[in-house]
Structure 1
Amino acid sequence: MEKSGLTGSRFLLVTILNVVITVFELLGGILSGSLSLLSDAFHNLGDALSVVLSYIAHRIGGRQQTRSNTFGYRRAEILAALLNAGILIVISVVLAIEAVRRLMHPEPVKGDIMLVVAVVSFLANLLSTVLLNHGAKHNLNIRATYLHLLSDALASVGVIIGAVLITVWQIYWVDPVITILVAGYISYESWPIIKQTFDILMEASPALDYEGISQDLTALPEVEGVHHLHAWQIDENNVVVSVHVNMDDLPLSQVEPIYRQIEAILCRKYGVNHVTIQAECHRGENESLFYQQNDWRHD
């Protein structure tokens, strides 16, 4: 937990805040007839569940490697981030559909009740985002939860503006319009998280300078060629690389210092966290940098 600057007490406090906000907004939405308040209440309910899921995944992700999980459990946080972001988009679609229905058939809203509830909700959501702000900078899972809370705070601002317009000028259609705008914003912020988690789970190659890697490794006097390079991410912070290198037929005692040079280049210059190197004399010397489907026949 220390690496992200978060503690269980912070997660607990954020969860309690979101449960209280949810109940408060549900009552306020029912009494005022405001769709944007009701939508924010369901969003906050999702936030409370998100925080709990995020905390559980964060604890699981901190476990050490085992024989059955030699890379550890960090992917638990990636799965939680994907689930959290996916729930946000589903909620946004449902809210947008209901908002369109309200636009076609406007309903009266009690702006004074709506305003009081929205202000209290905004302050509570703002406190929640402050509590998770530091961890969101270093952890994709916590970032997804942080975006849940930040979007709620922004949604509350929209609801406050709408409540003022409804109270002063009785512009009831502004309530569903705000709901649509908030739903669009939530989807916009959630999509990059979904894309990044999919890339990690599908083991897409991280954004490394692969040609630069090849040039740097072959610039070592003992390395004659590089092929079958694989790179993937365990989570958003940990990159793993495996690579085959062609060298002269050297004793193992002379190969190990070369390994250390290769590891130093990959870790210090390219931000790789774990390197696996396979030394070969002539095997694969004419093959490409990246694995080709039929290359295994030559191994």
Structure 2
Amino acid sequence: MHNNRVSGGRFLAVTILNVAITIVEIIGGLLSGSLALLSDAFHNLGDSLSIVLGYFAQSIAGRPENHRRTYGYRRAEILAAMLNALFLIVVSVFLIIEAIKHLHHPEHVNGPIMLTVAIVGLLANLISAGLLQGGSHHSLNVRATYLHVLSDALSSVAVILGGLVLTFVNLPWLDPVLTIAVALYIGYEAIPIIHQTLSILMQSAPRLDYDQIKQDLLGIDGVVNLHHVHAWSIDEHRIIFSAHLNCQDMLLSQVEEVYHQAEQILETKYGICHVTIQAECLRGQDEELFDTPPDRQSICE
């Protein structure tokens, strides 16, 4: 299991940087009349809240299993990632609506102020992204927070380009157009995180080669069939797997060896970290991988 966690000190540093950027950009946006700058400021304010949420989610996820949470609290990070990504979508929609309004009623923008503030914002966002970058490869929660900061950096680049142009040329429509472009990018980056977190929360089956798993387990001496298979994810790293194995009539000590071999195959070849196997002799021997026996259907219904 991965343990590349982002320290509380880094989360705090990123939060302080985002709050500072927000204050500077609000002042700069009001002075320059730039919607892109004001939009980026409120985006940064939301980021600060998201970073705090991400930190607390990571702290909660590290708690050990107990009698109430037998799989632990790891899905706290998944929930935080989904909330952060949903917030990004809401921000994107809001920015697009405001930008369209400004396209219909363009306002003069002070290019030099817009440019100066955007450069400060870009530097701070790049530092924040650097602090979070390592953990973004191993945690959806940190990745969502990292994307917040990265989208801010991209937004700052767009605002810098806009500021450069507006310093020399009066193009009132450029500021809202840049805002729409940044908003579309933010939404584009957030959608895959929402999809992945929803799949985990809905206990969708992870992408495994189930036919090959069946062939591998049938290769164990004494195993004659595999059925009633279930697989789901606790988070983006931990896959849970359960199945019924039909075995030849054998001693319990021999069944334990079958368990051991099955667990080794599932862990080393498929990255499954938690395996539950029920051994049976004749019961369910004609069933398919995912078919539920009639007696179980009546109980579940």
TM range, normalised to the smaller chain? over 0.9
Query: Which ranges in structure 1 are unaligned for 5 or more consecutive residues?
Result: none
Q: Is the 8 A contact 1:226 1:243 kept in 2?
A: yes
Q: Which residue of 2 aligns with 1:179?
A: 179
- Could you give the per-residue CA deviations for residues 149-176 of structure 1, whole angstroms, max 9, x where no partner exists? 0000000000000011111111121100
For residues 120 and 31 of structure 2, what CA distance do their matches in structure 1 show?
16
Residue equivalent to 2:7: 7
Residues 295, 236 of structure 1: alpha-carbon distance in 2 compared, 3 angstrom cutoff: farther
> Do 2:243 and 2:278's aligned partners in 1 also have CA atoms closer than 8 Å?
yes
Instruction: Indicate whether 1:156 and 2:152 are aligned.
Output: no
1:41 aligns with 2:34: no
Take 2:103 and 2:298, find their aligned partners in 1: how far apart are those partners?
Answer: 65
Counterpart position of 1:282: 282
User: 2:152 is matched by which residue type in structure 1?
Assistant: D
What displacement does 1:105 show? 1.1
Report the secondary structure of 2:292's partner residue: coil
Look up the SS of the partner of 1:3 in the other structure.
coil
Moved >6 Å (runs of 4+) = none
Q: Is the 8 A contact 2:284 2:293 kept in 1?
A: no
Q: What is the TM-score of this pair, normalised by structure 2?
A: 0.97
Shift of 1:228: 0.5
Give me the whole-angstrom Cα distance separating, in 2, the residues matched to 1:293 and 1:195: 31
1:140 maps to what in 2?
Answer: 140
Q: 1 CA distance for matches of 2:152 and 2:16?
A: 15
Q: Which residue matches 1:220?
A: 220
Q: State TM-score, norm by structure 1.
A: 0.97
How does 1:1-299 map onto structure 2 within 5 Å? 3-292=3-292, 294=294, 296=296
Task: Output one character per residue of 1:84-134: Cα deviation in whole Å (capped at 9) or x when no partner.
Answer: 000000010011001011111111011111000000000000000000000
8 Å contact kept, 1:287–1:295: no
Alpha-carbon contact 1:230-1:291 (below 8 Å) kept: no
CA RMSD of the aligned region, Å? 1.3
Question: 1: CA distance between counterparts of 2:192 and 2:136?
Answer: 14
Cα pair distance change 1:52/1:293, threshold 3 Å = farther
Q: CA deviation at 1:293?
A: 7.3
How far does residue 292 in structure 1 lie from its aligned partner after superposition? 3.3
Shift of residue 9, structure 1, vs aligned partner: 0.6
Cα distance between partner residues in 1 of 2:13 and 2:114: 25
User: Partners in 2 of 1:215 and 1:116 — Cα distance?
Assistant: 63
Counterparts of 2:298 and 2:175 in 1: how far apart (Å)?
Answer: 66
Cα distance per residue 1:227-283 (max 9 Å; x no partner):
001000000010000010001222211110110000000000011010000000011
Aligned equivalents of 1:298 and 1:190: distance in 2? 41
Identity %: 57
Q: How many residues align?
A: 298
Residues of 1 paired with 2:43 and 2:297: CA distance? Answer: 53
Contact residue 24 and residue 117 of structure 1 kept, 8 A: yes
- How many angstroms does 1:295 deviate by? 5.7
